[in-house]
């Protein structure tokens, strides 16, 4: 069974829609920027016309939640401990989007590193060729 959820919220300066999809394969999310505040008909038109244009993130496996009951005091302590920690958690959609952004940054850095190394090799080859030409004589 597949579950989809669209959340429209204001992220300065635009209105953004987060589409979350959860099915047997896992959890994925897509982001769409509306711009001005969308009306209900505009949102339904977006879902009808542009659903296939959305680029969802890679599938993230969702762990099964425990149905064990937690006492209120323990729950309060756990919440306070999380609030004190410096780690930013955010919603599941925000975490997934930040992971995707981090992966894109890493791949871009790797590509940049390869290009820089290739440029260094070319410059070294040019320098050595120039030295050989100088030593040949006329």
Q: DSSP 3-state assignment of 98?
A: helix
Q: pLDDT band at 138, cuts 50/70/90?
A: low
Domain extent listing, the chain? 3-89, 92-137
pLDDT, tens only, 91-106? 778 878 888 888 889 9
CA pair distance 20, 11, nearest whole angstrom: 17
SS3 of 51-82: HHHCCCCCCECCCCCCCCCCCHHHHHHHHHHH
pTM more than 0.75: no
* Structure confidence at residue 33 (pLDDT): 84
The confidence score (pLDDT) of residue 65 equals 62
Q: Residue 82's pLDDT is what? A: 79
The string of pLDDT tens digits covering residues 60-83 is 666 656 568 889 999 899 888 877
């Amino acid at each position: 069974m597949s579950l989809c959820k669209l959340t429209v919220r204001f992220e300065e300066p635009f209105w953004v829609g987060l589409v979350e999809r959860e099915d047997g394969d896992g959890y994925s999310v897509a982001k769409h920027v509306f711009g001005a505040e969308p009306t209900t008909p505009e949102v339904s038109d977006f879902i009808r016309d542009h659903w296939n244009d959305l680029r969802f993130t890679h599938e993230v496996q969702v762990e099964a939640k425990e149905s064990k009951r937690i006492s209120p005091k323990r729950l309060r302590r756990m919440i306070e401990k999380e609030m004190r920690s410096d780690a930013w958690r955010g919603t599941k959609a925000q975490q997934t989007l930040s992971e995707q952004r981090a992966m894109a940054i890493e791949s871009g850095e790797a590509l940049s590193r390869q290009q820089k190394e290739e440029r260094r090799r070319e410059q070294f080859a040019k320098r050595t060729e120039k030295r050989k030409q100088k030593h040949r004589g006329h």
